[in-house]
Amino acid sequence: MTMISTTQAGRRLLPLAVFAVLAAGCGTQRSDDAGDAYRRTHPTPTGISTPGTPADFRCPGESAAPAPSSSAGTRGSAAPGDHYAENHGFRVPFPLHGRRRCDGLAAVGRVEAALEPLRERGDFAPEHARGALIRLGYSEGDVRSYQDGPTAVGFLIEADPSPLCVEGTMDRDSTHADAFGGYPDHTGCETPSGGH
């Protein structure tokens, strides 16, 4: 009989002991410096692949090889102790690489060519810019344009649902567009207003 009560007491204490051990490890987190020191002394084995940036190549119509993408806006680029970049990383768009970069460059070329006649005429009406972009084949729901000063129009196009986004401005001096691949933790091409 004594044996049974000791075993039952042990069974009741076991979950409590496991919880205490697990709780003791909660809340401990290495600082970035400690994590960097760990990575320096424990490098990734060569047999394990780590994600990297896909290789870019010269796209049709591109005169020079693409420049290596900058790491601006990446997590490691902020000054130590400055969490602004880290906290606002959800607003940094994904760059395009490989075939998608070529698709983006082609879309930028078409957009700039379609808007250039409007710019040359001095037509900075958002509805005219939007109409020119819709005539390129983009659906009405995927094209947004807006007044960006008295002689400038801003625009945003969701060129495909992957997403391939084209954003830019047309003003008195130039028409400029850039392509990107959306945002982290967000679908579509609109700049997110909040992260997690």
Q: Does 23 reside within a domain?
A: no
Q: Is residue 37 part of a domain?
A: no
| Nearest CA-CA partner of 145 in 159, 158, 156 | 156
Predicted local distance difference test score (pLDDT) of residue 97: 93
Asked if residue 62 belongs to a domain, the reply is no
- Given a cut of 50, whether residue 70 has pLDDT beyond it is no
* Cβ contact 172:148 at 8 Å: no
More confident of the two residues 151 and 1: 151
Residue 171 has pLDDT above 80, yes or no: yes
Give Cα separations from 152 to 15, 40, 176 (angstroms).
67, 50, 11
Lowest mean pLDDT among 21-25, 72-76, 139-143: 72-76
Domain limits for position 123: 91-180
Tell me if 61 is assigned to some domain: no
Q: Is residue 196 situated within a structural domain? A: no
Q: Would residue 156 count as lying in a domain?
A: yes
Taking each helix axis as running N to C, give the angle between helix 126-134 and helix 98-121, from 0 to 180 degrees, rounded to the nearest 10: 130
Contact between 163 and 188 under an 8 Å Cβ cutoff? The reply is yes
CB burial readout 77-102, b (16+ within 10 A) else e:
ebeeeeeebeeebebebebbbeebbb
Calpha distance 124→153 (Å, rounded):
6
On average, the pLDDT of the chain sits at 77
Rank 89-103, 116-130, 175-189 by mean pLDDT and report only the highest.
Answer: 116-130
pTM: 0.64
Beta strands at 175-180 and 143-147: parallel, antiparallel or unpaired:
unpaired
Q: Which residue has the higher pLDDT, 137 or 20?
A: 137
Do 104 and 164 touch, CB atoms closer than 8 A? yes
137 lies in some domain: yes
| Poorest-pLDDT segment among 23-32, 70-79, 81-90 | 70-79
- Is 86 a member of any domain? no
**CA 51/CA 73 separation, integer angstroms:** 18
Q: How many domains would you assign to the chain? A: 1
